């Protein structure tokens, strides 16, 4: 079995990673192409030069940053693979795979406490500062000539309804707003719209699966002229100016809108176990997005941690693609049975990740008894956490969800947050599944359209 | 061979041991803990680290997670190239 499963692909292209030629296809992200070429260690970490790779595959974390054609800290999960690109690991010498400064990780087995280390020995402290600062870091400054990257002014944008996030809630909101006659703009940080619908294997909203529901929504969005801007991330809300600022490859845009729907979704978390940062540890949604978007398997022998809906969907997608899958329930009672080919370990938790530079095995534990599972990937399928940034910047009232580990907006029946022209839907408003996200998104979109059109009347 | 650290903040390489020691040293709220250890100050601007740190802090202090609140997410929420900010006209 190969990492790339059979499917129709874009034109073959080639780029280099740390000097090595990587075969890719147009339409793939750097992360997908590198993973398919079995390159999992993309860079080294800031302080201890620990190996790092793809985790969330959704632009939320920064574990997959690489240097691309002289630009530092580019997220490989969002960056398209381009023919001839020079891609390099960061913070590693001579390469991410064999970084000599990885010694720092062993020199400080617990952690380096820079507040107290050598505090009584000023000379040693100063020397250490110089050495550590040289070795630590986030790569080198850009090597692109300043003339090639001129300053660009902030663009202005307007919409009746501005929707942030093109997952199920955001897409449903945008379609409903546009169907009600509002000029609707939908911002999506990743290169593709759909969010969890891209990977959802179950029937939803009358469609046989997520991709079918997504195709239907995109079709309706097209008919109602929703302006969908992918690879465009909302990065700020400035209340004093009433402007939401977005960023894409070209620059910034300041948006004015009659109403705004926050459908910012949620992000995945790793389990807090030893070596939880090793390449090969993924968020479950992100890992199967690799499969759905690019036909690239996250691993061949995969442990899924958490019998949550995300975990079960991951089991289904992986088994269908031919991977060997073990489901560790993490104390979660599954809402439905995983496929028969999945090995189920009940009443157990992931206790540790093992591997030299990437996942080689996973230890699972039950009542103090530990067993070792050989694996090349661990998918964390715990409850994802609502994205907090924009929600907090609006000042909307929030409630805490302990299982998800974060705050979501408290909304009324129309998705209104109680603050200004802000509506929220999906995980941002406390929704727990795709079905309710779609329904609440549609309600919030329709209400946002009414609000926007009343404001302009 | 990578050592078996439990990483709370992957951007800044902050471990669970480091956080726990800092809490014992008296940095027993999210903002102080963030300022002392540097978690949540990297390019992701505070995602999984905040979830994990809040859980650790709640467990150690006995406080309610909800009451521990959140860190402050100031705009912009992402690192932005300076050239995207440099072309503003003077508005003296």
CATH number at residue A86: 3.10.20.440
Q: Is residue A146 in some structural domain?
A: no
Whether residues A272 and B84 touch (CB distance < 8 A) is answered with no
Give the DSSP per-residue string, B18-77.
HHHHHHHTT--SHHHHHHHH-TT-STT-SSHHHHHHHHHHHHHH---HHHH-----PSPS
Whether residues B10 and A102 touch (CB distance < 8 A) is answered with no
Q: Is A196 in contact with A210 (CB distance < 8 Å)?
A: yes
Judge whether residue A322 has pLDDT over 60: yes
Quote the CA–CA distance of A315 and A240 in Å, as a whole number: 47
Residues of chain B with Cβ-Cβ distance to A270 below 8 Å are: 7, 10, 48
Residues A232 and A286 in one domain: no
Residues of chain A with Cβ-Cβ distance to B89 below 8 Å are: 153
Residues A336 and A371 in one domain: yes
Enter the DSSP assignment of A149: S
Residues of chain B with Cβ-Cβ distance to A233 below 8 Å are: 78
pLDDT band at A119 (very low <50, low <70, confident <90, very high): confident
Element containing residue A178 per DSSP (H, E): helix A168-179
Q: Which residues pair with B79 in a beta bridge?
A: none
Quote the CA–CA distance of A225 and A167 in Å, as a whole number: 18
Judge whether residue B23 has pLDDT over 90: yes
Task: Give A363-378 pLDDT, tens digit per residue.
Answer: 999 999 999 999 999 9
Residues A372 and A410 in one domain: no
Residues A19 and A106 in one domain: yes
Q: Is residue A133 in some structural domain?
A: no
Residues A408 and A375 in one domain: no
CA atoms A40, A45, A67, A196: torsion sign: positive
pLDDT value at position B84?
94
Residues 6+ apart with CB under 8 A from A373: A303, A326, A361, A362, A363, A364
Residues A247 and A327 in one domain: no
Q: Is residue A398 in some structural domain?
A: no
Residues A365 and A427 in one domain: no
Residues A217 and A161 in one domain: yes
Q: How many CB atoms lie within 10 A of CB A55?
A: 29
- Residue A121: exposure state from Cβ atoms within 10 A (0-12, 13-18, ≥19): exposed
Looking up residue A357, the CATH number of its domain turns out to be: 3.50.50.60
Residues 6+ apart with CB under 8 A from A342: A315, A319, A325, A326, A327
Q: Which of A76-80, A109-113, A291-295, A450-454 has the lowest mean pLDDT?
A: A109-113
Whether residues A106 and B3 touch (CB distance < 8 A) is answered with yes
Judge whether residue A31 has pLDDT over 50: yes
Q: Is A8 in contact with A25 (CB distance < 8 Å)?
A: no
Quote the CA–CA distance of B83 and A252 in Å, as a whole number: 10
Whether residues B73 and A392 touch (CB distance < 8 A) is answered with yes
From A331, A346, A380, the end of a domain falls on A380
Residue A170 CA neighbour count, 13 Å, CB half: 29
Quote the CA–CA distance of B5 and B16 in Å, as a whole number: 8
In whole numbers, what is the pLDDT of chain A averaged over residues? 95
Provide the domain count of chain A: 3
Stronger pLDDT, A351 or A4, i.e. the higher one: A351
Q: Is residue A132 in some structural domain?
A: no
| ipTM of the prediction greater than 0.90, yes or no | yes
Residues A98 and A20 in one domain: yes
The pTM for the full model equals 0.96
Q: Is residue A392 in some structural domain?
A: no
| Residue given tokens 């809108």 in the structure block | A257
pLDDT value at position A7?
82
Residues A179 and A257 in one domain: yes
Residues A301 and A239 in one domain: no
Going through A192-277 in order, the beta strands assigned E by DSSP cover 227-229, 233-238, 243-247, 252-262, 266-267
Quote the CA–CA distance of A429 and A399 in Å, as a whole number: 9
Q: Which of A110, A247, A269 sits opposite B84 (nearest CB)?
A: A247
The residue range of the domain holding A436 is 155-261+403-455
Give the DSSP per-residue string, A93-144.
SB-STTBGGGHHHHHSSS---TTTTTTT-HHHHHHHHHHHHHH-SS-PPP-S
Residues A228 and A286 in one domain: no
Task: Give A146-181 pLDDT, tens digit per residue.
Answer: 788 889 999 999 999 999 999 999 999 999 999 999
From A53, A85, A111, the end of a domain falls on A111
Task: Give A358-413 pLDDT, tens digit per residue.
Answer: 999 999 999 999 999 999 999 999 999 999 999 999 999 999 999 999 999 999 99
Quote the CA–CA distance of A212 and A22 in Å, as a whole number: 32
pLDDT value at position A412?
97
pLDDT band at A1 (very low <50, low <70, confident <90, very high): very low
Q: Is residue A368 in some structural domain?
A: yes
Q: Is residue A4 in some structural domain?
A: no
Residues 6+ apart with CB under 8 A from A122: none
Q: Is residue A143 in some structural domain?
A: no
From A380, A415, A432, the end of a domain falls on A380
């Amino acid at each position: 079995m190969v990492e790339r499963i059979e499917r129709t692909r874009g034109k073959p292209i080639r780029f280099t990673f740390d000097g090595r030629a990587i075969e890719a296809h147009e339409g793939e992200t750097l992360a997908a192409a590198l993973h398919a070429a079995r390159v999992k260690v993309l860079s080294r970490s800031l302080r201890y030069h620990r190996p790092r790779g793809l985790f969330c595959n959704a632009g939320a974390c920064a574990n997959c940053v690489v240097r691309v054609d002289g630009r530092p800290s580019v997220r490989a999960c969002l960056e398209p693979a381009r023919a001839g690109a020079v891609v390099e690991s960061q913070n590693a010498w001579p390469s991410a795979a064999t970084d000599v400064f990885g010694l720092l990780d062993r020199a400080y087995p617990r952690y380096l406490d820079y507040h107290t280390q050598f505090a009584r020995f000023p000379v040693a402290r100063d020397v250490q500062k110089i050495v550590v600062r040289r070795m630590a870091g986030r790569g080198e400054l850009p090597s692109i000539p300043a003339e090639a990257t001129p300053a660009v002014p902030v663009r202005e944008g307007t919409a009746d309804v501005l929707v942030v996030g093109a997952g199920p809630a955001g897409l449903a909101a945008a379609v409903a707003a546009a169907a009600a006659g509002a000029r609707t703009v939908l911002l999506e940080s990743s290169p593709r719209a759909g969010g969890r619908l891209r990977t959802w294997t179950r029937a939803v909203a009358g469609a046989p699966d997520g991709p079918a529901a997504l195709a239907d929504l995109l079709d309706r969005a097209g008919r109602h002229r929703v302006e969908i801007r992918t690879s465009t991330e909302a990065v700020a809300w400035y209340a004093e100016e009433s402007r939401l600022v977005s960023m894409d490859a070209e620059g910034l845009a300041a948006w004015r809108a009659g109403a705004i729907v926050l459908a910012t979704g949620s992000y995945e978390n790793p389990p807090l176990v030893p070596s939880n940062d090793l390449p090969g540890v993924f968020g479950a949604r992100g890992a199967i997005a690799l499969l759905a978007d690019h036909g690239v398997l996250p691993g061949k022998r995969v442990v899924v941690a958490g019998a949550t809906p995300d975990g079960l969907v991951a089991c289904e997608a992986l088994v269908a693609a031919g991977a060997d899958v073990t489901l560790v329930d993490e104390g979660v009672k599954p809402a439905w049975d995983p496929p028969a080919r999945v090995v189920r370990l009940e009443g157990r938790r992931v206790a540790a990740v093992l591997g030299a530079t990437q996942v080689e095995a996973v230890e699972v534990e039950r009542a103090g008894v530990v067993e070792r599972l050989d694996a090349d990937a661990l998918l964390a399928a715990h409850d994802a956490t609502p994205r907090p940034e924009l929600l907090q910047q609006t000042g909307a009232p929030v409630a805490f969800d302990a299982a998800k580990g974060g705050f979501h907006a408290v909304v009324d029946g129309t998705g209104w947050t109680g603050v200004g022209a802000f509506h929220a839907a999906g995980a941002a408003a406390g929704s727990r599944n795709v079905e309710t996200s779609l329904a609440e998104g549609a309600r919030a979109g329709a209400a946002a359209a009414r609000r926007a059109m009343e404001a302009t009347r | 061979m990578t050592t078996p650290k439990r990483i709370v903040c992957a951007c800044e390489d902050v471990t669970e041991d480091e956080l726990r020691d800092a809490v014992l040293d008296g940095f027993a709220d999210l903002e102080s803990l963030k300022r002392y250890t540097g978690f949540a100050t990297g390019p992701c601007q505070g995602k999984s680290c905040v979830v994990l740190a809040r859980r650790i802090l709640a467990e150690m202090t006995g406080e309610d997670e909800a009451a521990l609140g959140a860190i402050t997410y100031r705009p912009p929420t992402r690192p932005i190239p300076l050239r995207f900010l440099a072309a503003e006209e003077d508005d003296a």
